[in-house]
Amino acid sequence: MNYWLVKSEPDTYSWDKLVQEKEAVWDGVRNYQARNNLKLMKKGDSVLFYHSNIGLAVVGIARVIKESFQDPTTKDERWVSVKLEPVKPLKRPVPLVEIKANPQLQHIHLVTHSRLSVQPLQKPDFDRIVAAGQSAK
DNA sequence: GCCAACGTTGGC
DNA sequence: GCCAACGTTGGC
């Protein structure tokens, strides 16, 4: 089981929309590093859902329900998509400022490499963020 | 809305 | 293969 974090601008595709639609084809990724991560996703992997630009917080947990396949939005074979479904929202969104303030989370891509839109997470870091999202702070 | 950081493109 | 120009992303 692997752990990931994906980013989306809520204006473009929000957590609420994922919940509403029950699943999402994660398409439109046009960055090699992010694409490589998509290819590594396995069915059942856990994915944190982060709102960029507006919100700036991790808002929910999703799950990979379909492994990488040709991105339906392009004929270009370089790009792939996966399918995600919502698992549950965090009780409380975990804001970026809080992650940046946590000494144990300084090394994650969200902090060091914020532009990467599909990022791997180590389990302990995934768990820390989820735990923060369950506690009222 | 600005701008820094980053990735990609294309001329040479 | 280098690097300048350009486009995009995302935090502030």
Q: What is the DSSP letter of A72?
A: T
Considering only CA atoms, which of A110, A117, A118, A113 is closest in space to residue A94?
A110
Distance A136 CA to C9 C1' (A): 31
Q: pLDDT (tens digit, 9 = 90+) per residue, A88-112? A: 999 999 999 999 999 999 999 999 9
Chain B nucleotides near the protein (CB, 7 A): 5-8
Q: What is the CA radius of gyration of chain A?
A: 14
Distance A112 CA to B5 C1' (A): 12
Question: Taking residues A56-74, what's their average pLDDT?
Answer: 95
Distance between CA atoms of residues A42 and A95, nearest Å: 27
Q: pLDDT (tens digit, 9 = 90+) per residue, A22-39? A: 999 999 999 999 999 999
Name the β-bridge partners of A80. Answer: A70
